[in-house]
Amino acid sequence: MGMDGQKRIALSAHDAAKPTLAAWAFANERALTAHRLTATGNTGRLLLAQTNLKADCLRSGALGGDMELGAMIAEGRIDLLILFTDPLTPKPHDLDPAPLVRVAAISQTVIALNEATADFILRSELMARPYPRPHAPPALPAVTQRIDARKGLA
């Protein structure tokens, strides 16, 4: 499953990194408007309030938005995950990036965990053109096949 010229971009951030993500999105509004945006709840509301971007908002990460986002990635409905993390000030209700990073890696989803990486990706020549996404079956069928194989062992 390839990516077309309009990428499906998911945006999320730890609480302490939300202002950085909002500032980054504001500075990159022109480039981001060419793509379809999805965001976890509180991050999405902040982006809608501080930029002119339009985004589909999921639930808040703490209320299942991170799981919704993970399912979208697993189903191949996200091309690029921009997930600004704050490893220095963990909070119990903050999103744990490991499951999202894992499912994104399995499904060949592009991942940016900080502003520098997001800048490089957004300015890539591949952002404006189709990309075949080599070796990328959606993660969900691959996992389902492994579960089915294990059932045969029981």
Taken in order 85, 88, 93, 97, is the CA torsion positive or negative? positive
How far out from the chain centre does Cα 141 lie? Answer: 19
Active-site entry in 4, 15, 56, 66? 66
Ramachandran bin of 82, using left for φ above 0, alpha for ψ from -120 to 50, beta for the remaining angles: beta
Alpha helices, H only, the chain? 18-27, 29-32, 41-50, 65-74, 97-106, 115-122, 139-153
Assess whether 56 carries a catalytic annotation.
no
User: Distance between CA 124 and CA 145 in Å, rounded?
Assistant: 34
- Supply the residues annotated as catalytic: 66
